[in-house]
């Protein structure tokens, strides 16, 4: 197998990786045959409906349980008075991906939208009507729901326990000796994931075994979490999540209503299904918190950055701590010899925020790229020239080399395609009819994490294979890209690969998040395939009846379902090797993780260029062109990667111009908790979006050279649009989404 390692120390893949294959699950999805969690209809299933708190803080003084129970078809009404206890406290932090479980263990209301009761009935209609009959009375207390009135607190950590503050170098001296500086403040708004599929769960107990259908981005971790809160062994849980109608981070975190449904199924000894309505997703299932970011960039006479200072104020709930680590976006992008990043927390009576679409990086990049444009202007430089001048050749935060960084190529490729060279430096110089036209840009960057994954690969007597890992496909195409890697690990054609995934009895594929799923689960699958092939090669090279006998020293190569000698052109089919050995199958195992301390800084990079048209009378902004070029290591499936990048850039349009969850500050309740009021981009908002991938060979990021494409698209894009709006109007956006009235 030596031939599988090339001289750079990373693995050469076969013929499947790199192909733009269509999604293996595509036909199931577009024909409606793909089963989602809310489609599960086990025999005798009951329907659960939660009642959401209508105040933001206080307690539930009274619920009319009698009226609800009297409604025909109602089986049971769960309130804090009769809900079974959890095995551990609802505040227990079993691992960093656990939020407080809101499971009716007390009568406190901590945020609007919190479940305060759950009705279980024979029909959805009966449960819905009975929940309405509960007609709660509250003892309300004064609440805070916005960044402006929230309660400040000091914190040492942000999301996932990352350090909140970092300083490198002497800021005071750098400032005193710098000749230019700019200070920029940018606010970003609360956003909700709004996956196409609202959260749902169907739970049933089959004897001692709990079977759960629920969309989930972290199957292995979630099994652990459920087991801890329920006080049962992980092996007693089967979690199925074959299809996920979008996650964006919100389905990586468990929420209390899932546990409530499971408790009810155990209590009632019948299957119970809970499918949240769109409005019920707002509050208990996480969101992106608003931020207020202040950046100061100091420069010398040439426009070289001498110091970069990035502060973030952000919001979390009154009872949990997830802080958007936005300032970290400044750690590793531009060559700042002096660097300070800080975060300040505030508490409000809202549900706990959580990871959403490049958590930290997306709002952080938005503010950083606005500040960079202001700095370029202060330096009298073109925005792209300014970024090239301040290109970081090594990672400013860690001092390490980048594992690879084809950012200059991204700039050149995207700028060329966009036609950036003709851009006038002053704003308000271009028009299209009566509309103001502007061009802006931003740099994209996203880290390359790896999690822990395991996989099995089993070669069968007929030369086909089954590969197994619990990977989650929420629409990104994981099942296809991972099957491609598995096929190459096994050295067989992809149509011979049966890919089993999406449930918790399989080896754990780790988290589908952080843009690290393909790298992590893919490595596990590749290693499992290689392990099986290695066993096969041992059989053949030691068998005098095989044409491969004695090829051990020169090695063999696996390709097209055959092993090939490296020292001549003889080969043998897998079926024949297995048949002669009298074996039905050979099973390989593999894991994927990053070993040891990193020796390099590892990031995907990109450059995004935006053109906007702004109505000078109405302030309405339209993105007319968006072109991004990205360098993300080895691209396993160019069609799927392009979709991921386009999707990320379109999230950027949403964040820049549309998406904003608003509270009524008087009631503490949501104003726009539906898709009529919470706007997301549709096709008409994204007329011309182009994503280019730039070749990048990364020998360090992992053996397969995969970096990840899931989230980088949103970084760079928000700032690019904001900068284009400035170029069109001369108004520097101070918040996202940009409000039309601020432009006129």
Residues tagged active-site: 711
Among 242-250, 427-435, 553-561, 723-731, the segment contacting ligand MOS (CB under 6 A): 242-250
Q: Which residues of 240-277 are buried (b: 16+ CB within 10 A; e: fewer)?
A: bbbbbbbbbbbbbbbbbbbbbbbbbbbbbebbbbbbbe
Q: Which of 215, 438, 513, 737 binds ligand MOS (CB under 6 A)?
A: 513
Residue ranges in 250-269 that form contacts with ligand MOS under rule CB under 6 A: 252
**Which residues are paired to 342 by β-bridges?**
311
> Whole-number minimum distance, CB 277 to ligand MOS, in Å?
22
Closest distance between ligand MOS and the C-beta of residue 359, in Å?
5
Exposure pattern of 597-629 as b/e (b: 16+ CB <10 Å)? eeebbbbbbbbbbbbbbbeeeebebbbbbbbbb
Residue 150 and residue 88 in contact, taking contact as beta carbons nearer than 8 Å: no
Binding segment for ligand MOS (CB under 6 A), chosen from 243-251, 438-446, 452-460, 656-664, is 243-251
Q: Which is nearer to ligand MOS, 100 or 357 (CB)?
A: 357
d(CA 706, CA 522): 9
Show the tokens assigned to 189. Answer: 């708004």
Contacts with ligand MOS by CB under 6 A: the residue count is 11
Compare residues 216 and 469 and give the one whose CB is closer to ligand MOS: 216
Q: In whole angstroms, how close is the CB of 87 to ligand MOS at the nearest point?
A: 28
Cα–Cα distance, 235 to 228 (Å, whole number): 12
Distance (Å, whole) CA 547 – CA 562: 12
Nearer to ligand MOS, 529 or 592 (CB): 592
* 3-class SS letters over 89-158: CCCCCCCCCCCCCCCCCCCEECCCCCEEEEEEECCHHHHHHHHHHCCCEEEECCCCCCCCCCEEECCCEC
Provide, rounded to whole angstroms, the least separation between the CB of residue 606 and ligand MOS: 17
Minimum distance between the CB of residue 501 and ligand MOS, rounded to whole angstroms? Answer: 17
Q: Pick the stretch among 120-128, 248-256, 580-588, 662-670 that binds ligand MOS (CB under 6 A).
A: 248-256
DSSP state of 663: B
CA distance 48 to 46: 7
Q: Which is nearer to ligand MOS, 255 or 420 (CB)?
A: 255
Q: How far is the CB of 614 from ligand MOS (least distance, A)?
A: 31
Binding status of residue 247 toward ligand MOS by CB under 6 A: yes
Q: Within 13 Å of residue 271, how many CA atoms lie on the same side as its CB?
A: 18
For residue 608, give Cα distances in angstroms to 365, 647, 710.
Answer: 12, 13, 16
Structure tokens at 55: 């105040």
Half-sphere exposure of 470 (CA within 13 A, CB side): 25
**Contact criterion met (CB below 8 Å) for 455 and 430:** no
For CA atoms 512, 27, 241, 508, the dihedral sign is negative
Distance CA 644, CA 650 (A): 10
Cβ-count burial 483-513 (b if 16+ within 10 Å, e if not)? bbbbbbbbbbbbebbebbbbbbebbbbbbbb
Tokens of 648: 């990320």
CA distance 63 to 734: 44
3-state per-residue secondary structure call for 463-518: CCEEEECCCCCCCCCHHHHHHHHHHHHHCCCHHHEEEECCECCCCCCCCCCCCCHH
Q: How far is the CB of 250 from ligand MOS (least distance, A)?
A: 8
Q: Which three-class secondary structure state does DSSP give residue 458?
A: strand
Identify which range of 247-255, 482-490, 566-574, 608-616 contacts ligand MOS by CB under 6 A: 247-255
Q: Which is nearer to ligand MOS, 58 or 606 (CB)?
A: 606
* Smallest distance, ligand MOS to C-beta of residue 660, A: 18
**Position among 116, 218, 326, 356 found at the interface with ligand MOS (CB under 6 A):** 356
Which contiguous run of DSSP H or E holds residue 252?
A: none
Contact by Cβ (8 Å): 459, 490: yes
Q: 3-state DSSP call for residue 275?
A: strand
Closer Cβ to ligand MOS, 351 or 383, answer by number: 351
Which span sits near ligand MOS by CB under 6 A: 130-138, 354-362, 569-577, 633-641? 354-362
* Structure letter (DSSP) for residue 162: -
Q: Please say which residue, 61 or 196, places its beta carbon nearer to ligand MOS.
A: 196
Residue 247 or 633: which CB sits closer to ligand MOS?
Answer: 247
- Give the orientation angle of helix 717-729 with respect to helix 638-657, to 10 degrees: 50
Q: Give the residues across from 76 on adjacent strands.
A: 120
Using rule CB under 6 A, residue 217 touches ligand MOS: yes
CB of 699: closest distance to ligand MOS in angstroms? 25
Residue span binding ligand MOS (CB under 6 A) among the ranges 176-184, 355-363, 537-545, 669-677: 355-363
Q: Which residue has the tokens 């990079």?
A: 605
Is 713 among the residues that bind ligand MOS (CB under 6 A)?
A: no
Min CB(523)–ligand MOS separation in Å: 18
State in angstroms the smallest separation of the CB of 518 from ligand MOS: 12
CA–CA distance, 209 with 716 (Å, rounded to integer): 47
Q: Residue 248 Cβ, how far from ligand MOS at the closest point, in Å?
A: 6
Give yes or no for residue 357 binding ligand MOS (CB under 6 A). Answer: yes
Query: Which residue number places its CB atom closest to ligand MOS?
Result: 249
Taking CB under 6 A as the rule, does residue 355 contact ligand MOS?
Answer: yes
Residues of span 108-167 touching ligand MOS by CB under 6 A: none
Q: Which is nearer to ligand MOS, 281 or 551 (CB)?
A: 281
- Would you give the distance in Å from CA 628 to the centre of its chain? 19
> Which residue, 51 or 252, is less far from ligand MOS as judged by CB?
252
Give me the least distance between CB of 516 and ligand MOS, in Å please.
Answer: 8
The residue from 351, 364, 507, 514 that contacts ligand MOS (CB under 6 A) is 514
Task: Using the minimum distance from each CB to ligand MOS, give the nearer residue, 463 or 522.
Answer: 522
- 406, 414 Cβ separation under 8 angstroms: no
Window contacting ligand MOS (CB under 6 A); options: 60-68, 245-253, 294-302, 564-572: 245-253
Compare residues 249 and 303 and give the one whose CB is closer to ligand MOS. 249
Q: Smaller CB distance to ligand MOS: residue 112 or 326?
A: 326
Applying CB under 6 A, among 249, 463, 628, 648 the residue interacting with ligand MOS is: 249
Residue choice 14, 245, 351, 359 for contact with ligand MOS (CB under 6 A): 359
Does 652 bind ligand MOS (CB under 6 A)? Our answer is no
Stretch near ligand MOS under the rule CB under 6 A, chosen from 145-153, 261-269, 351-359, 721-729: 351-359
What is the Cα 160 distance to its own chain's centre? 14
The residues binding ligand MOS (CB under 6 A) are 217, 247-249, 252, 355-357, 359, 513-514
């Amino acid at each position: 197998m030596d031939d599988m390692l090339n001289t750079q120390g990373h693995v050469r893949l076969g013929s499947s990786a790199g192909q733009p294959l269509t999604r293996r699950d595509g036909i199931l999805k577009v024909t409606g045959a793909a089963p989602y969690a809310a489609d599960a209809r086990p025999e005798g299933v009951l329907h659960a409906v939660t009642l959401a708190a209508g105040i933001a803080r206080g307690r539930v003084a009274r619920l009319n349980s009698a009226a609800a129970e009297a409604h025909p078809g109602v089986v049971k009404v769960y309130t804090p008075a009769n809900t079974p206890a959890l095995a551990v406290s609802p505040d227990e932090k079993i691992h960093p991906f656990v939020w407080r479980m809101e499971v009716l263990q007390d009568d406190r209301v901590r945020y609007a939208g919190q479940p305060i009761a759950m009705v279980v009935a024979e029909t959805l209609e009966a449960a819905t009507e009975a929940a309405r009959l509960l007609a709660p009375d509250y003892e309300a207390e004064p609440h805070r729901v916005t960044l402006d009135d929230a309660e400040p607190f000091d914190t040492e950590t942000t999301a996932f326990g990352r350090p909140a503050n970092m300083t490198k170098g002497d800021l005071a001296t750098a400032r005193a000796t710098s000749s230019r500086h700019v200070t920029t403040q940018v606010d970003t708004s609360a956003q909700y994931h709004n996956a196409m599929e609202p959260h749902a769960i169907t739970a049933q107990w089959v004897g001692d075994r709990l079977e759960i259908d629920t969309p989930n981005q972290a199957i292995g971790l979630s099994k652990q979490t459920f087991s801890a809160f329920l006080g049962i062994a992980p092996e007693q849980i089967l979690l199925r999540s074959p299809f996920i109608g979008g996650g964006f981070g919100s389905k990586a975190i468990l929420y209390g209503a899932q546990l409530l449904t499971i408790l009810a199924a155990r209590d009632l000894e019948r299957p119970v299904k809970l499918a949240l309505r769109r409005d019920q997703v707002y509050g208990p299932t996480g969101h992106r918190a608003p931020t207020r970011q202040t950046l100061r960039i100091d420069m010398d006479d040439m426009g070289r950055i001498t110091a970069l200072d990035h502060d973030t104020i952000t919001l979390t709930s009154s009872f949990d701590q997830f802080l958007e680590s936005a300032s970290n976006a400044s750690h590793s992008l531009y060559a700042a010899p002096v660097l300070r990043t800080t975060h300040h927390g505030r508490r409000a009576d809202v549900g706990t925020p959580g990871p959403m679409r490049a958590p930290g990086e997306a709002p952080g990049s938005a503010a950083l790229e606005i500040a960079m444009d202001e700095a370029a202007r202060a330096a009298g430089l073109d925005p792209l020239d300014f970024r090239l001048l301040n290109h970081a050749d090594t990672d400013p935060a860690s001092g390490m080399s980048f594992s690879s960084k084809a950012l200059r190529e991204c700039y050149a490729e995207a700028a060329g395609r966009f036609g950036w060279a003709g851009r006038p430096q002053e704003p308000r110089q271009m028009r299209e009819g009566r509309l103001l036209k502007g061009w802006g840009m931003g740099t994209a960057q996203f880290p390359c994490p790896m999690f822990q994954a395991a996989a099995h690969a089993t070669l069968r007597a007929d030369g086909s294979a089954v590969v197994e890992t619990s990977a989650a496909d929420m629409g990104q195409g994981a099942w296809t890209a991972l099957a491609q890697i598995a096929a190459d690990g096994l050295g067989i054609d992809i149509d011979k690969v049966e890919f089993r995934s999406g449930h918790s009895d399989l080896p754990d594929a780790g988290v589908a998040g952080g843009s690290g799923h393909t790298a992590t689960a893919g490595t596990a699958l590749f290693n499992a395939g290689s392990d099986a092939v290695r066993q096969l090669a041992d059989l053949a090279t030691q068998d005098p009846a095989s044409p491969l006998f004695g090829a051990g020293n020169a090695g063999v190569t696996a390709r097209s379902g055959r092993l090939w000698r490296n020292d001549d052109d003889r080969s043998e089919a897998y079926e024949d090797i297995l048949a002669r050995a009298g074996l039905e199958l050979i099973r390989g195992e593999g894991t994927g993780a990053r070993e040891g301390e990193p020796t390099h800084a590892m990031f995907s990079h990109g450059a995004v260029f935006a053109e906007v048209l702004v109505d000078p009378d109405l302030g309405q902004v339209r993105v007319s062109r968006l072109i991004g070029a990205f360098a993300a290591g080895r691209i396993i499936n160019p069609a799927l990667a392009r979709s991921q990048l386009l999707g990320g850039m379109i999230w950027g349009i949403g964040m820049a111009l549309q998406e904003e969850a608003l509270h009524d500050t008087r009631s503490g309740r949501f104003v726009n908790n539906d898709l009529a009021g919470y706007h997301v981009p549709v096709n008409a908002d994204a007329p011309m979006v182009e994503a280019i991938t730039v070749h990048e060979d990364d020998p360090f990021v992992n053996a397969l050279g995969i970096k990840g494409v899931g989230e980088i698209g949103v970084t760079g894009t928000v700032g690019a649009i904001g900068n284009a709006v400035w170029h069109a109007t001369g108004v520097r956006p101070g918040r996202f989404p940009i409000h039309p009235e601020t432009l006129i």
